[in-house]
Amino acid sequence: MSRDHTQSAERSGAGAPAGDAETPFLELLARRASADAYERPVLLARAEGRAAEHVAALEHARLLALRVRSEMEGRRRREAELSALFETAHDLAGLRDLDAVLQAIVQRARSLLGTDVAYLSLNDPVRGDTYMRVTEGSVAARFQQLRLGMGEGLGGLVAQTARPYVTDDYFQDERFQHTSTIDAGVRDEGLVAILGVPLMLGHHVIGVLFAADRRARVFEREQIALLGSFAALAAAAIDTAHLLTETRSALAGLERANEIIRDRSGVIERASDIHDRLAELVLRGGGVHDVAAAVAEVLDGMVEFTEAAAVPAKALEASRADGHAVWHDDEWIAAVAAGGELLGALVLHGHPGLDPVDQRTLERAAMVTSLLLLARRSAAEAEQRVRGELLDDLLDARDRDPRLLRDRASRLYADLDATHVVLAARLDAAAADADQEAAARRRLRSAASHLAATRHGLAAARDGGTVLLLPLEPGDTATALARRTARQLGTAVHEEVTVGASAPVEGLAAHPDTVAAAYAEGRRCLDALRLLGRSGDGAAAEDFGFLGLLLAGDRDIAGFVDRTIGQVVAYDERRGTDLLRTLDAYFACGMSPARTKDELLVHVNTVAQRLERVGRLLGDDWQSPARALEIQLALRLHRLAAPAPAQR
């Protein structure tokens, strides 16, 4: 779009009615304009002396457009990062040329972090230093040939300590040892800000991956984590190359002895088979159980992915620290880890004499499993944040544009025009300390987000618990949904979860304030359940009898009367009987049949027959204190609602 066309669009936006204030910003979004460009329509409207309400509408539209732009940019960035990681994993799966794979890793790291230079160094165990292996964006020959002693420069410090280091001004940073040779190379390259992360195999550092800029820059935590992911893939590529070298050496030895060839050929075939299968699984987005099934078939054994808590801690820690599968109690255990976090283990049952190549196959499968888990977690966390943000907006921002709300919900496969129930959920068990309580809340939030995603609803953390917005299926009730949700969440977090539900609500996009009112009703039901000692249960206002009139947001008196004595009212209307009048007299006479027959001027047997009919309609416990209280209240409310008799 030309500059003249842009200015024309901005002027047309400034002169349009307030309802069209978003038009110039939609055009800016469509052409991915810079953030500064969003100020122009507002400034132009002010310069032309437009009405204050029009300027305010433009300002509101500008803020919304900037939020949409930020969300779109964030999603594009996350998609690019995941795509680069999967492409790199693909390169690793089809590894033929180690230098080509390492060059691709450095190129993608530089592109995604937006740095001037990216480079990778490897440790030289013979000379005891680290040297440049691959560079991208470098222009200085002396820099490309640098060798760093352990502890020298930022890279030498990373290689020595096995920890990431970052500096926003290399020459002013005194945390590491400066040498004339290293400083001269960095100065030739013109680098200022440098980030370095270690390449780890097990607990050994084999090199360092760097990203650097020729200007001062602060690297964010997400960028450090992203470079760490690329470093893990680079280390895996080097390890895979070593594995292939070992395999080739083994093949050379096997060629010298036919018996060894026959013995080893099956192992090599299995390694190749699992290599291809794991590559295919990564490319088509398979799950951890698919990896376990593939390894089990190739190794001809039973393999399963197990949560960390279910694996012997000592064996799991030994596998994580050493980077290899360990034999423990008739099982091979290969830790599935990412950084310092243990995600679980691949467990191979039996096979005490596992071939070293088969053992490495199990270890490689564990590494692929960790990559898949991290990718799934990243995607799930992103979706969880988006669902939570939409529900937060429905709860807090009452003036949202219904069209935008519907569009955001539709991208999450949610329909705000359907009938929904708002549920407030909370854990009831007291935690031993603050850390355990925070962990329990995270588990509840994760379980609620998963449930909402599978039910095409929304979930968010709120008031020390979680709030869910779930669609109500035809024939279902708020009570049944609350109890089912309490049971499902409790099973997921292994603790009692209490759930209070609102009455069904509709038209949430057009009336967002309905969500906040329904949430308040759900919380009142939740508090009532806890006060009544019904922890781990779920209920709606209609389940609390007359107490529900106080809990419900809309005071559904007619509904309460119908639930309590509706069958008696209907019976009288159909049969022309006098059961309601008999009930009134019965309670007024202290529940005495003898006094009731005098009040009604009928025989005592008639009173008994009518009360027996009432019992069949309302249930055997209708005269219990709690039920009797509800029935008396319903009778009075029914009399108040009945039309007054005509005057004669």
Return the H-helix or E-strand segment holding 112: helix 98-113
pLDDT at 645: 47
pLDDT at 626: 67
Alpha-carbon span 408 to 512, nearest angstrom: 14
Return the H-helix or E-strand segment holding 640: helix 625-641
HSE-CB at 227 with a 13 A cutoff on CA atoms is: 28
Q: Within the chain, what is the greatest distance between any pair of CA atoms?
A: 121
DSSP class of residue 353?
Answer: T
Task: Output the CA–CA distances (angstroms, integers) from residue 348 to 266, 274, 304, 319, in the order listed.
Answer: 19, 15, 7, 13
pLDDT at 164: 93
Mean pLDDT across the stretch 116-130?
90
Q: Tokens 């084999």 correspond to what residue?
A: 206
- The residue ranges of DSSP E strands in 96-192, in sequence order, are 117-124, 129-136, 147-149, 165-167
pLDDT at 12: 41
Decide: 274 and 243 in contact? Cβ < 8 Å: no
Decide: 406 and 416 in contact? Cβ < 8 Å: yes
pLDDT band for 186, please (50, 70, 90 cuts): very high
Closest by Cα among 82, 68, 87 to 381: 82
Same fold across 95-247 and 557-641: no
For residue 496 the two structure tokens come to 């009692």
Return the H-helix or E-strand segment holding 223: helix 221-254
Return the H-helix or E-strand segment holding 193: strand 193-201
Decide: 482 and 450 in contact? Cβ < 8 Å: no
Mean pLDDT across the stretch 384-395?
67
pLDDT at 4: 45
pLDDT at 578: 85
Dihedral sign, Cα of residue 166, residue 171, residue 175, residue 177: positive
Q: Is the pLDDT of residue 2 over 90?
A: no
List the domain boundaries for the chain: 19-94, 95-247, 285-379, 397-551, 557-641
Alpha-carbon span 2 to 609, nearest angstrom: 90
Q: Is the pLDDT of residue 460 over 50?
A: yes
- Range picked from 300-314, 335-349, 476-490 for highest mean pLDDT: 476-490
Task: Tell me the fold of 285-379.
Answer: Beta-Lactamase (3.30.450)
Q: Tokens 């709300």 correspond to what residue?
A: 405
Of 304-313, 459-468, 546-555, the range with the lowest mean pLDDT is 546-555
pLDDT at 376: 60
Can you spell out the DSSP letters for 14-70? Answer: HHS-GGGTTHHHHHHHHTT--GGGGGHHHHHHHHTT--HHHHHHHHHHHHHHHHHHH
CATH for the stretch 95-247: 3.30.450.40
Alpha-carbon span 130 to 119, nearest angstrom: 13
pLDDT at 11: 43
Which residues, other chains included, contact 117 with Cβ-Cβ below 8 Å and sequence gap of 6+? 110, 135, 136, 137, 138, 189, 191, 210, 211, 212, 213, 214
Q: Is the pLDDT of residue 308 over 90?
A: no
Mean pLDDT across the stretch 122-132?
88
Q: Which of helix, strand or coil describes residue 577? A: coil
Note the residue count of the chain: 648
Mean pLDDT across the stretch 26-52?
81
CATH of 557-641 given 1.10.10.2840, 3.30.930.10, 3.40.50.460, 1.25.40.10: 1.10.10.2840
Task: Tell me the fold of 397-551.
Answer: Alpha-Beta Plaits (3.30.70)
Task: Output the CA–CA distances (angstroms, integers) from residue 512 to 28, 119, 391, 392, 402, in the order listed.
Answer: 28, 51, 10, 11, 8
Rg of the chain in Å (alpha carbons): 35
Alpha-carbon span 323 to 337, nearest angstrom: 9
Which residues, other chains included, contact 454 with Cβ-Cβ below 8 Å and sequence gap of 6+? none
Mean pLDDT across the stretch 69-84?
64
Closest by Cα among 320, 479, 496 to 425: 496
pLDDT band for 644, please (50, 70, 90 cuts): very low
For residue 156 the two structure tokens come to 């030498």
Q: Summarize pLDDT for 206-253 with one digit per residue, the tens.
A: 899 999 999 998 888 888 888 888 888 888 878 877 777 777 776 676
Q: Summarize pLDDT for 253-301 with one digit per residue, the tens.
A: 666 645 544 555 556 666 666 666 666 666 566 667 777 777 776 777 7
Alpha-carbon span 380 to 453, nearest angstrom: 10
pLDDT at 135: 93
For residue 375 the two structure tokens come to 């990718």
Task: Output the CA–CA distances (angstroms, integers) from residue 641 to 204, 550, 555, 644, in the order listed.
Answer: 81, 18, 14, 9
Closest by Cα among 375, 382, 312, 377 to 344: 312
Of 210 and 317, the one with more pLDDT: 210
pLDDT at 398: 59
Mean pLDDT across the stretch 360-369?
77
Closest by Cα among 545, 551, 539 to 621: 545
Mean pLDDT across the stretch 31-55?
82
pLDDT at 74: 62
Dihedral sign, Cα of residue 532, residue 534, residue 535, residue 541: negative
pLDDT at 150: 80
For residue 381 the two structure tokens come to 């966390």
Model confidence, pTM: 0.36
pLDDT at 183: 92
pLDDT at 26: 77
Decide: 391 and 424 in contact? Cβ < 8 Å: no
Can you spell out the DSSP letters for 408-469? Answer: HHHHTT--TTS-EEEEEEEE-SPPSSHHHHHHHHHHHHHHHHHHHHHTT-EEEEETTEEEEE
Averaged pLDDT of the chain: 77
- The residue ranges of DSSP E strands in 307-409, in sequence order, are 326-328, 331-338, 341-349
Q: Is the pLDDT of residue 648 over 50?
A: no
Instruction: Name the amino acid, one letter, at 132.
Output: M
Q: Is the pLDDT of residue 481 over 90?
A: yes
pLDDT band for 194, please (50, 70, 90 cuts): very high
pLDDT band for 52, please (50, 70, 90 cuts): confident
Phi, psi dihedral angles at 21 (to 5 degrees): -65, -25
Sheet of 465-471: strands edge to edge?
Answer: 458-462, 465-471, 420-427, 497-501, 538-540
Q: Is the pLDDT of residue 572 over 80?
A: yes
Angle CA(140)–CA(142)–CA(146) in degrees, nearest 5? 120
